[in-house]
């Protein structure tokens, strides 16, 4: 079970990153869409931390969602901010998941039988 602190860190970092990067990337969206996008991105990052296991699994999950967001961006260029949100939340969630696993493995030494 993942610690709550890693979930909160993933949520906060992702939310702030999406909230400040999307307007800086010249996407002209309303404030409520920006808040919703940042919140959904934060939840996605938390789900990656909560359900992620290996680096490969995290990468596969993020790539699948990036492909879907890329197709959506290709069909409706106004929705490009969704791709950026998925990218930010996927990378943040995968990195914090790996940090969480490293800390958990370091905290609990494995049984070494001789």
The whole-angstrom distance between residue 70's C-alpha and the CA centroid of its chain comes to: 16
Q: Does the residue 18 lie in any domain? A: no
How many structural domains are present in the chain?
A: 1
Q: Does the residue 46 lie in any domain? A: yes
User: Which residue, chain included where needed, has tokens 């959506």?
Assistant: 72
User: Rounded to a whole number, what is the largest CA-CA distance in the chain?
Assistant: 62
Q: Which domain holds residue 81?
A: 4-9+30-106
Q: What is the spatial distance between Cα 39 and Cα 25, in angstroms, rounded to a whole number? A: 18
pLDDT in tens, the chain (114 residues): 457 889 999 999 999 999 999 999 888 889 999 999 999 999 999 988 888 778 888 889 889 999 999 999 999 988 899 999 999 999 999 999 999 888 888 877 665 554
Tokens representing 40? 């959904």
Q: Does the residue 86 lie in any domain? A: yes
Q: Does the residue 114 lie in any domain? A: no
Q: Does the residue 100 lie in any domain? A: yes
Q: Does the residue 45 lie in any domain? A: yes
Q: Does the residue 112 lie in any domain? A: no
Q: Does the residue 19 lie in any domain? A: no
Confidence (pLDDT) at 4:
85
């Amino acid at each position: 079970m993942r610690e709550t602190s890693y979930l909160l860190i993933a949520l906060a970092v992702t939310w702030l990153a999406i909230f400040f990067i999307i307007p800086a990337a010249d996407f002209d969206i309303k404030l409520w869409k920006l808040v919703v996008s940042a919140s959904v991105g934060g939840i996605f990052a938390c789900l990656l931390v909560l359900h992620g296991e290996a680096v490969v699994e995290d990468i596969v999950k993020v790539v699948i969602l990036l492909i879907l967001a890329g197709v959506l961006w290709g069909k409706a260029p106004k929705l490009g901010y969704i791709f950026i949100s998925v990218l930010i939340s996927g990378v943040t969630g995968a990195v914090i998941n790996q940090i969480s696993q490293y800390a958990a493995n370091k905290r609990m030494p494995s049984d070494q039988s001789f």
